[in-house]
Amino acid sequence: MQVKGIDHVNVLARDLDETARFYERVMGLERADNPAVGTSLRGAWMRDAQGHAIVHLVWKDPEADRYEGYEPGLSTNAVHHVAFQCDGFEAMRARLDDMGLPYRVNDLSHLGLKQIFVTDPNAVNLEFNFAV
């Protein structure tokens, strides 16, 4: 087997709509239905401009046993963050400033990299990497 890259990231969400709006506004992803999800499970694919599924959102139904033991917003334990390769560093900073979202910049220009760190509504840490 040869690993070629990350296929998608799955995020368990208390508020599916709020979380989808976050990924639309922050990352410019487009919400789409997930045809693989049955009628008993609400979710959405967040797709990039080419239609590739990047983030899979799943609603954490408080009345269901599914995902018992997993709680959005609590510590993700061993998974600290998810990183994305990105373009448009200044545009992303401007977008986050306009939205009033807190973020942190790590300037590693001496290594050919700038990073922006932000947290989604479910306490998932996101790392956006920009080649410089």
For the chain, domain boundaries: 9-65+80-131
Helices (H), the chain: 16-27, 89-99
Token look-up 């239905």 returns 33
Label residue 44 exposed, middle or buried (CB < 10 Å: 0-12, 13-18, 19+): buried
- Tell me if the pTM is above 0.95: no
Q: Which CATH architecture has domain 9-65+80-131?
A: Roll (3.10)
* 7 to 3, 10, 44, 53, 54: CA distances (angstroms): 10, 10, 15, 8, 7
Q: CA-to-CA distance for 114 and 58, rounded, in angstroms?
A: 30
- pLDDT string in tens for the chain (132-residue length): 665 667 788 888 889 999 999 999 999 999 998 765 665 678 899 999 999 889 988 888 778 777 777 777 776 655 667 889 999 999 999 999 999 999 999 999 998 999 999 999 988 888 899 999
C-alpha count within 13 angstroms, C-beta hemisphere, residue 7: 3
